[in-house]
């Protein structure tokens, strides 16, 4: 970009020249007061333009000013100071897209084997949308190429926009044009000799060629030859051939498949192959497929929409170190994803454990889209077998592209520059794939560690709750046992001369025996506590391992450094001066990187799988331990509930005894039998006095002599004293309970159970 000028009076200043076209140039203008930037396209001097150029320029301005679409660069109002006088060639003001053009992206060395899949999908979506809009407005672009696609960041997302409609044709002016001076490498073949063409299909060829380059890093048809040179050879291809290349012996090879390496998953690769077969047909009449009259769209646009509707979940089978790709739609369930995994991995759905990078498992009630990330293409879901504890490096054979394998076997062989450039680019891409594979395993290890920590935390919390309730059970058991022992002892003392109930006392003995069994429950908790503590110590040790979070960077850096070295070698080769490219050189430096990468990958993978095995073993043991802890907690809570019921029932029994004794004392003191309601009648049947102290009716007593009456009064007084002692014994536990109410929660004493 050329240097800019000082700002004008209205605040606008030129930021430099950002582009040159066939008959115009594009300047950047900046207004800092308004915080605006515009791209201003101007014509060259009129003396440099013929009538055809002037007409084409005027047409572009006219077309641009009436277009409004997200994926077509927007024309704006020209600032007054920059506008031209009437009669002069118009100036075109457009939104400034700061991300540069697509050619700049494709030229980056790291993209030598194609763009990332997420970028390919974004480009395909945006260009298809913009092109469909132009065609629906009866406009063909005619000059689609990477230089005419610009990037703009909108809400942290890159949007691709079409620019430069200088060669665009408004179909209202007629459907056939025989004059064209465009960019030849992306032109439809029918335009080379100026023959008639069928309107929109010229854009299909250009779009297909451009997207193919985005996928593979090079154009589909003999890219090192000029269009004039390759036209005759490519014209011989079959309708469904999408690539023409030279073989090892300079023979022409026709292919129906996308060449490797590329960055697409197998699903997207197969879908785009079918789409390329439509877009790269030699016959323009069939190119793009038929038009759907209902949808008013060409088949190629419909097919692209269908492709983009699918999202791809990446799932790593950790045990086998195999990455699976599963196509889903918005309504796909997690169960369907797991069934697909079961079919591929032979791991039943019931045995699958899926983990996200956070260490959490996906929610089975939510759609499968929860396994996707809009902002991270490398977002992985990790698949483990639940009971699997033995992990070892599967040592699957690394795939080497044919040209890289040949280079590795013959490191000293001299290669011509074009062949070497292609081979080194593929070698760098292979090193990058190894670094990605290692990074995936590191992520799997981290997800497992996070899952283990959550599981261990749950186990510790459960253990603490068990211990807390177990301690409470011990205290309450001791209290109930002591109070029950006192009650039973006092009952035994008074029953020979007072109230008794064998049924009640039998129930008390049963309660006592059942409470005794709670001791065994407390002993089992001690064993569980020891196991949980031991496992927690193992988890802490695993956190201190070389693969803890703070150490992972060191492991990852080894592979990253090798990837960077391979990239640097490739960049140096690409920057080689043209006069030195005729000299052939060997590949020893790149081959050294390849072998170091292979060796380090094996060492690091072996270590990682050993660590994964330890994590899995610990995870399984904690998972197994959680069930007994939960069972113990339920048993303890049940025991506490039984204690509460026993205490409540015994207190009810005692107070019923008191009630019966009180009623009988009243009867004897008054000297007559009182009426007893339904409840008192039941109590009288259950709780009876000893026969030795049964009282006679009042009428009989009155008939006895004075000596017998005095004897009866004496006996009643004795009974009253025993009742007073019994009531006192009832009050002592209650007082003890009140004294300890601040220490222990005895709310269960207020509960009632019939």
Query: pLDDT digits over 683-700, tens only?
Result: 444 444 444 434 443 333
Residue 47 corresponds to which tokens in the numbers above? 């003396």
Rounded to an integer, what distance in angstroms lies between the CA atom of residue 53 and that of residue 55?
5
User: Rounded distance, CA 66 to CA 77, Å?
Assistant: 12
Mean per-residue pLDDT for 601-605? 91
Instruction: Judge whether residue 555 has pLDDT over 50.
Output: yes
Paired tokens of 420: 């070497």
CA angle at residue 671 from 666 to 672, to 5 degrees? 85
Backbone φ and ψ for 483, nearest 5 degrees, come out as -65, -35
Average pLDDT over residues 183-196: 77
Checking if the pLDDT of 39 tops 50, the result is: yes
Q: What is the pLDDT of residue 740?
A: 36
Kindly state the tokens that stand for 394: 């599967």
Note the Cα 717 to chain centre separation in Å.
84
Domain segments of the chain as ranges:
1-96, 99-308, 452-750
CA dihedral 470, 472, 474, 475 (to 10 degrees): 170
For residue 492, the model assigns a pLDDT of: 82
Q: Which two tokens stand for residue 475?
A: 């205290």
- Whether a cis peptide bond, with omega within 30° of 0, leads into 261 is yes
CA distance linking residue 292 with residue 18, whole number of Å: 41
Phi then psi for residue 436, to 5 deg, are -65, -45
> What DSSP designation does 89 have?
P
Decide if 143 is catalytic.
yes
Specify the pLDDT at position 722: 55
pLDDT on residue 698: 33
- Please report the sign of the dihedral spanned by the C-alpha atoms of residue 593, residue 598, residue 602, residue 608: positive
Tell me the C-alpha distance between 596 and 435, whole Å: 12
Q: Which pLDDT value is given to residue 231?
A: 87
**Rounded alpha-carbon distances, angstroms, from residue 704 to 199, 440, 568, 673, 708:** 136, 106, 127, 18, 6
pLDDT for res 552: 60
Indicate if the pLDDT at residue 565 is higher than 50.
Answer: yes
| Per-residue confidence (pLDDT) for residue 690, from 0 to 100 | 47
Per the residue annotation, which of 126, 132, 143, 164 is the catalytic one? 143
Higher pLDDT, 678 or 641: 641
Read off the pLDDT band of 47 (50, 70, 90): low
What H or E segment, with its residue span, contains residue 407? helix 402-409
Domain 1-96 fold: Phosphorylase Kinase; domain 1 (3.30.200)
Q: What is the largest CA-CA distance in the chain?
A: 156
Task: Of 745, 729, 720, give the one whose Cα is nearest residue 651.
Answer: 729
Residue 460: predicted pLDDT: 94
Give the model's pLDDT for residue 3: 47
Q: Which of 206, 207, 211 is nearest to 185 (CA)?
A: 206
User: What are the tens digits of pLDDT across the range 502-554?
Assistant: 888 888 888 888 888 887 887 788 889 999 999 999 999 888 877 766 556 56
* pLDDT of 554: 66
The whole-angstrom separation of Cα 513 and Cα 487 is: 15
99-308: in CATH 3.30.2130.10: no
- Does residue 753 register a pLDDT over 80? no
Measured CA angle at 136 (ends 22, 206), to 5 deg: 45
107 has a pLDDT exceeding 60: yes
Give domain 452-750's CATH number out of 3.30.420.40, 3.40.50.150, 1.20.1270.250, 3.90.1310.10: 1.20.1270.250
Give buried/exposed letters for 47-67 (b at 16+ CB in 10 A, else e): eebeeebeebbebbbebbeeb
Task: Note the pTM of the prediction, 2 decimals.
Answer: 0.79
Asked whether the CA dihedral 279, 282, 284, 286 is positive or negative, the reply is negative
Q: Residue 451 and residue 618: Cα distance in Å, rounded?
A: 11
What is the predicted pLDDT for the residue at 142? 86
411-470: per-residue pLDDT in tens? 999 999 999 999 999 999 999 999 999 999 999 999 999 999 999 999 999 999 999 998
């Amino acid at each position: 970009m050329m240097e800019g000028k000082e700002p004008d009076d209205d605040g606008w200043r030129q930021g430099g020249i950002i582009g040159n076209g066939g008959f115009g140039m594009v300047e950047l203008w900046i207004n800092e007061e308004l915080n605006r930037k515009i791209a201003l396209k101007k014509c060259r001097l009129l003396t440099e333009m013929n009538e055809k150029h002037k007409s084409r320029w005027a047409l572009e301005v006219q077309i641009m000013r009436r277009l409004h679409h997200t994926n077509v660069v927007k024309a704006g109002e020209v600032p007054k100071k920059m506008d031209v006088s009437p009669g002069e060639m118009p100036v075109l003001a457009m939104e400034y897209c700061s991300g540069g053009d697509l050619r700049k992206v494709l030229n980056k060395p790291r993209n030598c084997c194609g763009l990332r899949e997420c970028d390919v999908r974004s480009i395909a979506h945006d260009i298809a949308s913009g092109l469909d809009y132009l065609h629906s407005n009866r406009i063909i672009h005619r000059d689609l190429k990477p230089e005419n696609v610009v990037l703009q960041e909108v809400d942290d997302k890159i949007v691709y926009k079409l620019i430069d409609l200088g060669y665009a044709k408004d179909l209202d002016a007629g459907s056939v044009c025989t004059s064209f001076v465009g960019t030849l490498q992306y032109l439809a073949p029918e335009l080379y000799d100026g023959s008639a063409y069928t309107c929109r299909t010229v854009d299909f060829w250009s779009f297909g060629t451009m997207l193919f380059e985005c996928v593979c890093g090079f154009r589909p048809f003999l890219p090192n030859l000029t269009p004039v040179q390759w036209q005759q050879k490519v014209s011989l291809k079959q309708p469904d051939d999408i690539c023409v290349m030279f073989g090892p012996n300079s023979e022409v090879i026709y292919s129906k498949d996308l060449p490797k390496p590329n960055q697409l998953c197998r699903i997207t690769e197969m879908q785009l192959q079918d789409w390329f077969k439509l877009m790269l047909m030699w016959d323009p009449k069939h190119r793009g497929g038929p038009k759907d009259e209902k949808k008013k769209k060409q088949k190629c646009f419909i097919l692209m929409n269908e492709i983009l509707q699918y999202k791809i979940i990446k799932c790593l089978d950790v045990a086998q170190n195999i990455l699976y790709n599963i196509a889903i739609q918005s309504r796909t369930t997690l169960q369907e994803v797991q069934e697909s995994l079961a079919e591929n991995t032979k791991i039943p759905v019931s045995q699958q454990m899926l983990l996200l990078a956070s260490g959490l498992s996906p929610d089975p009630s939510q759609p499968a889209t929860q396994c996707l990330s809009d902002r991270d293409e490398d977002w992985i879901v990790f698949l483990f077998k639940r009971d699997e504890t033995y992990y070892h490096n599967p040592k699957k054979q690394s795939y080497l592209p044919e040209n890289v394998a040949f280079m590795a076997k013959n490191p000293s062989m001299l290669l011509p520059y074009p062949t070497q450039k292609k081979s080194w680019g593929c070698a760098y891409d292979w090193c990058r794939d190894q670094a990605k594979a290692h990074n995936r395993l590191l992520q799997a290890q981290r997800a497992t560690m996070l899952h283990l920590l959550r599981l261990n935390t749950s186990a510790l919390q459960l253990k603490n709750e068990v211990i807390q309730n177990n301690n409470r059970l011990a205290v309450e058991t001791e209290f109930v046992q002591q109070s029950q022992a006192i009650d039973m002892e006092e009952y035994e003392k008074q029953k020979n001369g007072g109230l008794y109930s064998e049924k009640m006392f039998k129930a008390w003995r049963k309660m006592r025996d059942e409470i005794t069994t709670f001791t065994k429950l407390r002993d089992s908790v001690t064993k569980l506590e020891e196991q949980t503590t031991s496992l927690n110590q193992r988890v802490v040790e695993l956190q201190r391992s070389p693969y803890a979070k703070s150490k992972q960077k060191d492991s990852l850096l080894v592979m990253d450094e090798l990837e960077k070295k391979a990239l640097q070698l490739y960049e140096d080769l690409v920057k080689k001066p043209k006069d030195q490219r005729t000299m052939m050189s060997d590949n020893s430096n790149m081959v050294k990187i390849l072998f170091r990468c292979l060796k380090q990958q094996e060492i690091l993978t072996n270590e990682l799988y050993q660590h994964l095995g330890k994590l899995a073993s610990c995870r399984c043991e904690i998972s197994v331990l959680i069930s007994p802890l939960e069972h113990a907690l339920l048993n303890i809570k049940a025991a506490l509930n039984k204690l509460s019921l026993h205490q409540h029932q015994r207190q009810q029994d005692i107070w019923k005894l008191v009630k019966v004794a009180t009623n009988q004392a009243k009867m004897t003191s008054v000297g007559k039998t009182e009426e007893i309601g339904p409840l008192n009648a039941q109590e009288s049947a259950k709780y009876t006095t000893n026969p030795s102290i049964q009282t006679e009716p009042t009428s009989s007593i009155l008939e006895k002599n004075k000596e017998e009456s005095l004897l009866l009064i004496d006996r009643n007084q004795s009974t009253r004293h025993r009742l007073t002692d019994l009531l006192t014994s009832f009050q002592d536990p209650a007082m003890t309970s009140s004294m300890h109410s601040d220490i222990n929660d005895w709310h269960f004493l207020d509960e009632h159970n019939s």
